[in-house]
Chains A and B, each alone.
Chain A
Amino acid sequence: EAGVAQSPRYKIIEKRQSVAFWCNPISGHATLYWYQQILGQGPKLLIQFQNNGVVDDSQLPKDRFSAERLKGVDSTLKIQPAKLEDSAVYLCASSSRQGAHEQYFGPGTRLTVT
């Protein structure tokens, strides 16, 4: 069974530029999560999808971050414009069920904003 795929693995941009991350969850997993992990901290949930609908985006900075999962499979997270404090690892995870069930994580995208 293929795991959660993410690309790119690394990205360096200047502040005020835009960037997009892509995630393909495990086949059949209806629930998809995007997390932000700042160095030295645990993952913080940005947005949760159930199929192509948003379940929770309460911690997503909506003035600059957006995410979509149009066909209920893969997902894109975008930042526009980026700030220095957006430097972090962006993790995608998927789960076969909603609620506090185990999640399967991709390798992450390390973003550096200069």
Chain B
Amino acid sequence: AQSVTQPDIHITVSEGASLELRCNYSYGATPYLFWYVQSPGQGLQLLLKYFSGDTLVQGIKGFEAEFKRSQSSFNLRKPSVHWSDAAEYFCAVGASLLNRDDKIIFGKGTRLHILP
């Protein structure tokens, strides 16, 4: 079964600085990978996803993520953060697009704090 680890519970960066949130997954084959963002009091919103092809994936709000098979990682990056990026970020992994029983497994999340 697949699993996902987000090593950092909290990350603090200054507004305008670059950001990288770490995500490591465990799965024997090529996984399907997602990053979601959750603002306070809101549900989760999909930032980006990786299914196949180019390992550098562009998402909404200026985010990107890179799939590195050799490191079992799917880190989220943004070159310059804005105060509105303060939120909780979840990495998620799925095993199959076709198997009706497959589910997406979420990491425990990384809370991003932005310093003015």
Contact = CB atoms under 8 A, between A and B. Distances in A.
Contact of B43 (A40, A50, A106): A106
Given A91-B44, A105-B43, A108-B42, 11 more contacts: A41-B109, A42-B90, A50-B100, A56-B101, A100-B94, A100-B102, A101-B94, A102-B46, A103-B44, A106-B43, A108-B43
Interface of A: 4, 40-45, 48, 50, 55-56, 91, 93, 97-108
A100 B101 contact: no
A103 B108 contact: no
Nearest to B90: A42
Contact of A4 (B43, B90, B96): B43
Contacts, number: 67
**Interface of chain B, main secondary structure:** loop
A42 B106 contact: yes
Interface residues of B, number: 29
A41 B49 CA distance: 21
B99 interface: yes
A64 B41 CA distance: 26
A26 to B, nearest CB: 12
Nearest to A99: B97
A55 B34 CA distance: 22
